Amino acid sequence: MSEKKYSEKHEWVELNGDVATVGITKHATEQLGDIVFAEVPEKGKSFEAGGEAAVVESVKAASDVYSPVAGEVTESNDAIVGDPSLVNQDPEGNGWFFKIKVSDVNQINNLMNKTDYDKFVMEGA
């Protein structure tokens, strides 16, 4: 596993070979509050980087989850559909949304590392 990378829309990506696991950050869950619904993409669906891939709803708001990288979904986390609170409990672990076979692994270089993401959040993003 590589280090996690982060998008400006508060998704995280962890690359393992050419497959990336995608979820939303702890900061995103703190902003949303208690998550009550999650919709994940179907296996085989393709996305461009920045494309709307999933939906999450909380007691405060509904929000799209974007794919930070282009590729094809290889697996979706049905556990969060059945128990959306997993996203709040472990957003950067068991609360992941989907895995995507990345069309170009170099896309990951366009994302922030943890230090840069934390700075981005502290600056009011």
Residue-level pLDDT at 103 = 96
In this prediction, residue 125 has a pLDDT band, given cuts at 50, 70 and 90, of: low
Residue in the structure block whose two tokens are 């896309």: 107
Give 7-57 pLDDT, tens digit per residue: 999 999 999 999 999 999 999 999 999 999 999 999 999 999 999 999 999
| DSSP classification of residue 112 | B
Number of Cβ within 10 Å of residue 58's Cβ equals 20
The partner residues of 14 in beta bridges, in order of sequence, read 21
CB 28 within 8 A of CB 22: no
Residue-level pLDDT at 16 = 95
Domains and CATH numbers, the chain: 5-116 (2.40.50.100)
Region for 56 from its dihedrals, namely left if φ exceeds 0, alpha if ψ lies in -120 to 50, beta otherwise: beta
Residue-level pLDDT at 76 = 98
Give 65-92 pLDDT, tens digit per residue: 999 999 999 999 999 999 999 999 999 9
